[in-house]
Amino acid sequence: MKFSLSWLKDHLETAASLPEICATLNRIGLEVEGVEDPAEKLQGFRTARILSAERHPDADRLQVCCVDAGPGFENVQVVCGAPNARAGLHVIFAPPGTHIPASGMTIKAGKIRGQASGGMLCSLRELGLGDEDSGIAELPADAPVGEDYARYAALDDPIIEIAITPNRGDALGVRGVARDLAAAGLGQLKPWSPPEVVESLSEAETIAGPSWQISHPDCAWVTGRLIRGVRNGPSPAWLKRRLESVGLRPQSALVDVTNYLMIALGRPLHVFDADRLAGPVLTVGHGQEGETFQALNGQDYALQTQDIVIRDASGPQSLAGIMGGQSSAVDENTQNVFVESALFDPVRIALTGRRLGLQSDARYRFERGVDQARVREGLEAATALIQELCGGKAGPVVSAGAEPGWQRQATLRFARLKDLAGLDVSPDEAVTMLQGLGFELLSREADRAVFSVPSWRNDIASPAGILAQAPALDQDRAQRAAENVAAAEAEADLVEEVLRLRGIDAVTPLRLPQRTQVATSALSPEQSRLNLLRRLCAGRGLMETIGFSFVSSQDAERFGGAPAGERLLNPIAADLDQLRPTPLIPLLRALERNLARGLGQEGEAGFFELGPAFGEHGGRMVLAGVRGGQTARRPGRKGHGFGWEAARDDLTAALLAVGVNQAALTTVAEAPAYYHPGRSGQLRQGPKKVLGTFGELHPRLARKFGFAGPVAMFELALDALPRPKPRQGKGRGAPVLSPLQPVRRDFAFLAGPQVQAQDVLKAVRGAERALPQRGMISNVRLFDVFEGPGLPEGMRSLGVEVTLQPATESLTDAQLEAVTRALAEAVEKATGATLRS
């Protein structure tokens, strides 16, 4: 929301400075995003008059001018190359030391072709005020000499831009901002009412004009008035400056009037060319399937039944509350107009605008809620201003629908100011603040006051909205419950209004009560688990990234699909139009860029992300990681890439870190289609519960991403893990370490093709119960798989390394023999594999 300081002071009587106004806006929740003062870049420029202009003796296209620029520059010689420089012309003069905005240069006194030049005569383009560059700017003949140009051209008017939260539709008009500032004690709100309009059309002329008809209750309330005999043309200078100051391009007086009142009052309006409307009735209703509409921006839009349109006998003439149509637009030939001021359903407008991708200032205001009671006032103000600028005779107001029942009350218990906001505000001060915002005091007691909520504050809670959220209750109970909840919310809203007007900085900070002398953990068990996984991945050489939750639909198709329900209607970029099915996509893109630019450490790079993935079951948290490139070469050792083993080790380490029992893990040779079909797998807990997936990127996708070698990657579904339990008591404490050396033994088992290596490993771990010391087996690892000569047909040898960690005494040869027998018996019993001799 942009407005100029002078525009604000049209509605606010104040002596406050610009910094004071900005500070107050920030204090009351209307955050100032920027302040632009056009006069700052025009410092030094002044109005002047050319006294004489003669041809330069040594240059045909230059003139030597004598210029009067006021005190200190009464007779300055300036060499000028503009073809329109002539004696008597009033111009803009830049003395030495002036900075030229368009070129960035600073004017210096000097000589041009041997003639002294003590300044510069400027065009508007050089001042950054237009595109005209055919010569120097020509000011009116009555322009004063020697005056600051920014002040003369009324450009010394700062522009303030504020951020508006979605609930504050009333602040989308200059008058609403002025009302807030006045309530905050920064001046007085000037009284305003629409000028009285004299209806001067004859009965016959009125009957020939349009009337309203509503065909659906979503369309609420519409009003309009016919004005005959208008003369449309350029707007006066003051109106053009107002619109240009807030970034709106002046078009014609009729259009500019509606834009001016929309910014000033927050009231969207529309003007139809009455002679271009077909039939005597304008109908407000829903669109029809297959119907098209050409908007004022020249684009054609396909309508649907949920859209609200204004139509005449020939078809749609306006997308209600969003944009008018090209076929009934006003132009320089317009003589008769029909002015519309209405109230439409904000949800319907939002859905239509979002579906069509159609933005407009009117839509922006209707979505956030416009004043529900002052539809007629906006029409009267527009009529009066149109008659002032364009003439014409006004007819009576025609309308359809009715003003909605917006009236509601809110009660403030003064003690709640302290309970909810921590403010010591006197009841009189609180009442005065709320009255300044437009809340009418209905009654007051010692401990409370009852207010009528103004029509422009749609954000204050109402029972109707809450009642719609409680369909499960019977009607009477629902009504009572809704009223009770609405009363509580309305009271909290009033406390919020007093709080923001007083200022959050006025709240005294209080220390929370301390339960124990030792601070407790500020992290939940889930948060602690995420931090643990981050430290683990970083310790394994992976760098954390945070990627967009959006990817291109093309990438999404490659990694699990791109359902239409997860397609973005208004993406932040053309290649970020789909919710990502996996964090692997941005990770692979990051790996691709780093390897292509040689940014990987010694030719390799690895990344991980803890973030959301979206699919058929909604959003879920996933830990994903990728590795690629080549390790550094060493003496006697070549560099190598990263295969599925690296991804499996990363995934296994993550599962062990969060407490998953390795003996419960099962490896299955299954993975999504974007993994290499022969170099990937899943880690499951039991036969069905998938905890994570590991493997190499499919070669076809690797080529599309531009990878020269294999890429290892893994995914861990955090929602598949058991919920972490909060620590009880003193925690686990320090681990008990054995002072004895571990013993490693290698075993080779002869197994048939149906025997899985993981079953053999599981059987070895399960042999713990038969060993002389419990907890002796500390690690079991598969280190070799052999098939070939020396083995029976169809058999293979599985090499298993077992680490034995005695706790109380060293193992004897007899105990080691017992361990060997126990392991062999356990494996043979579980899988049928036998120990090789």
Q: Which amino acids are annotated as binding site, given as ranges? A: 459, 493, 496-497
What's the one-letter identity of residue 825? E
The alpha carbon torsion through 813, 818, 819, 822 (nearest 10 deg) reads 170
What's the one-letter identity of residue 123? S
Beta bridge partners of residue 338, listed in sequence order? 226, 272
177 is written with which tokens? 């901002």
Contact 430, 498 (CB under 8 A): yes
CA 400/CA 722 separation, integer angstroms: 61
CA 94/CA 308 separation, integer angstroms: 55
* HSE (side-chain half, CA atoms, 13 Å) at 30: 28
Contact 150, 39 (CB under 8 A): yes
The residue written with tokens 């809110």 in the block is 410
Contact 122, 101 (CB under 8 A): no
The alpha carbon torsion through 690, 692, 697, 701 (nearest 10 deg) reads 60
Q: How many residues are given for the chain?
A: 837
Contact 824, 745 (CB under 8 A): no
CA 817/CA 821 separation, integer angstroms: 6
Q: How far is CA 119 from CA 72, 107, 407, 495, 522, in A?
A: 13, 7, 65, 60, 67
- Note the Cα 738 to chain centre separation in Å: 57
71 — phi, psi (to 5°)?
-50, 130
Residue 142, judged by CB atoms within 10 A of its CB (0-12, 13-18, 19+), counts as exposed
CA 447/CA 445 separation, integer angstroms: 6
769 is written with which tokens? 């119960």
CA 706/CA 628 separation, integer angstroms: 12
CA 40/CA 153 separation, integer angstroms: 14
Binding residue ranges for Mg(2+): 459, 493, 496-497
The residue written with tokens 């000569």 in the block is 789
CA 259/CA 273 separation, integer angstroms: 17
The residue written with tokens 């406390």 in the block is 495
485 is written with which tokens? 């909840």
Three-state SS string over 190-224 comes to CCCCCCCCCECCCHHHHHCCCEEEECCHHHCEEEE
Q: Helix or strand or coil: residue 594?
A: helix
CA 469/CA 485 separation, integer angstroms: 11
Q: In this structure, are strands 221-228 and 292-294 parallel, antiparallel, or unpaired?
A: unpaired
What is the edge-to-edge ordering of all strands in the sheet holding 834-835? Answer: 777-786, 796-804, 743-751, 834-835
What's the one-letter identity of residue 628? G
Best CA proximity match to 358, nearest among 328, 331, 330, 318: 318
Q: How far is CA 66 from CA 49, 78, 287, in A?
A: 9, 6, 67
CA 352/CA 319 separation, integer angstroms: 9
The alpha carbon torsion through 293, 294, 300, 304 (nearest 10 deg) reads -20
Contacts of 209 (CB under 8 A, 6+ apart): 201, 226, 274, 280, 338, 395, 398
Best CA proximity match to 194, nearest among 332, 407, 39, 394: 394
Beta bridge partners of residue 51, listed in sequence order? none
Annotate 127-184 with DSSP letters as a single string. Answer: TTS-S--SSS--B-TTPPSS-BHHHHTT----EEEE---TT-GGGSSHHHHHHHHHHT
